[in-house]
Amino acid sequence: MQNSSVRSYSDDTLASSVLGGVNASGTGSAGLEYEFQKVLAGQTGVTREFVSASGVNLPASHSTVITKATPGEGLELTLDSSLQYVTEHDLAEELKAVDGLTGEAVVMDVKTGQILADASLVNTATKAGVLGPIASYPQSIGVAGIHQTVNNLPFTEAYEPGSVFKVVTFSAALQAGLVTPSTVLTVPNSVVVGGRLFHDAENHGVEHLSATEVLAQSSNIGTYEIGLRVGESGILSQVERLGFGQTTSVKFPGETSGLLVDAANWYASDRVALPIGQVDAVPAIQVLDAYNAIANGGVFVEPQLVRGYVDPNGEVKAAPKSATHEVLSPSVDNTLVKMLEQVVLEGTGTNAIIPGYGVAGKTGTASIPYPGKDALLTGNYNASFVGFAPASNPTLSMIVVVQRPLTDIFGGSVAAPVFQEVMSYALHHYGIPSDGTHQKPLAGSNASIASDVT
C-alpha cells in the first residue's frame, strides 16, 4: 500500500474484502484501508505564507512551517498472494457449482496465528432473499457471477455454526475427565427437552456408540448426552475459554463478537441446543481460532493480518507477536486431535482426506434462523468444514463456510472438498513434508455425510 490519496492495487480484485478501499477524497472507507487510515495517510503539514489576493507569494516574504508533515507508513500483510488466489478461486468454483449465496475461507499458520488467506465471496447469480442484501465490489474475480464482498464475512458475519461447535462439548468433557474416547453411550434417535423435539439427522434405533463414534458420526443426541455430563456452567465456561464471544486482536472494521447464550438467558432446551451448535451465533474466525488452538497443542493464539509496518525509507518494523494462552492440557488436546482424525478417516469428513497427510477436522450442516423470526429457513443450511494438517504435527489450519448451498447442502460434500483442494496446494506450496499416514477412508464406516445436520 502506498502513502497516497490514489491507491494502486497490483493484484486487481485479489483480497479486496480484506484490503477494502478508499473514497473519492482518498480516505479509507472499508477494510484495512479504513482501519489503518491514519497510519497509511500520515499527517498533513501546515505552512504559513504571505500571498496576494491572486495567490502569488509576496516579494521578500518567508514561509513558516507551523506543523511538519509526517509521511505515512505502509503495511506488510500476512497474506500470501498465491495462496489467496487459489483459495478464492477454489471457493468460487464450489460456490458456483452448488448455487451457494456466500462463501468464506480462511487459512492460518497454526503456530503464529498469521492469516495466510482470507476469502469472502458472494454469488450474485443467486438471489439472497431474506438473507440479503450482501454488498459486493462490482468486478467478478474471474469466475462468472462471483464477486468479493465489501464486508469481510469471516470477521463480520455471525452464523449458527452447527456441528463444528460440538468441539466445545467434547473438549469440556475430556478436560473434566467425564468421558474418554472409548466411553460408550446409549443413543436413541430423539429426545424432547424443554418442550422441543431434538433428533439425529438420520432415523435410527437405539445405538451404542463410543464417544469417538459420536463425534465421527456427528450424533446430535450422543453429543447432548455428553453435554449433560458437563452441565450448563461447564459448557458456558468452555465456550468462553475457546474464544467464542470475544472479538479478536485483529479488530477488523465491523468485526462481530457474536451472539451468545449466558446463564441469565438459559432455557431448558439449551441443554441440547448449545452443545450441538445451535442458539449461539459466531463469526467463522472464532471457529477457526478454536480449532487452531487444538492444532497448536491446546494453546490459543490470536489471529494476525499485519506482519509489519514499512516506514518511508523502506525499513520494516515487525508487528508484535500474537498473544497466546493455554485452553486445553496437552494430554487432553492430543486425545481430541486423534478423535478429530477419526471424523476424517471414518466419519462425515472423508472428503477432506489428503493423500500422504493426516487431517483432523469437523463438518457442519447448520440450519439458518429466519431473520427477525423465531423460526428456521426451511431447507436452508450453512455447510462448513474446519480442520488442520498434518495431524501429527499441525502446521496449517483452515475453515470453509458456504451459506445456503442449493444443489448440495452438506458440510462434508460442499465445504470439505474446498478444504481438501486448498490445503493440498498449501502443504505443497510451503514444502511441508508428508507424514505418510492416511491415504483413504477406513473400510466399514457407518457414518453418512448427511448425519451432521443440526
Q: How far is residue 345's CA from residue 444's CA, in Å, rounded to a whole number?
A: 11
Residue 315 CB neighbour total at 10 angstroms = 9
**SS3 call for 117:** strand
CA distances from 277 to 77, 251, 309, 453 (A): 33, 25, 39, 10
Q: How far is residue 177's CA from residue 424's CA, in Å, rounded to a whole number?
A: 35
Q: Burial level of 195, CB count in 10 A (0-12/13-18/19+)?
A: exposed
**SS3 call for 3:** coil
Residue tagged 458437563 (cell numbers): 230
Residue tagged 454469488 (cell numbers): 123
Q: Band of the pLDDT at 1, cuts 50, 70, 90?
A: very low
Average pLDDT value for the chain: 91
Q: Band of the pLDDT at 22, cuts 50, 70, 90?
A: confident
pLDDT(2) > 50: no
In contact, 396 and 426? CB cutoff 8 Å: yes
CATH topology of domain 81-307+321-452: Beta-lactamase (3.40.710)
Strand partners, 398: 107, 387
For 390-449, the pLDDT digits (tens) are 999 999 999 999 999 999 999 999 999 999 999 999 999 999 999 876 556 655 555 789
* Per-residue cell: 387: 480442520
Q: What's the pLDDT at 69?
A: 58
Q: What's the pLDDT at 272?
A: 97
Q: How far is residue 70's CA from residue 250's CA, in Å, rounded to a whole number?
A: 25
Q: How far is residue 321's CA from residue 228's CA, in Å, rounded to a whole number?
A: 38
pTM of the model: 0.91
Q: Band of the pLDDT at 54, cuts 50, 70, 90?
A: confident
Spans of all domains in the chain: 81-307+321-452
In contact, 29 and 20? CB cutoff 8 Å: yes
Q: How far is residue 156's CA from residue 34's CA, in Å, rounded to a whole number?
A: 14
CA distances from 393 to 105, 111, 213, 337, 439 (A): 22, 11, 23, 10, 17
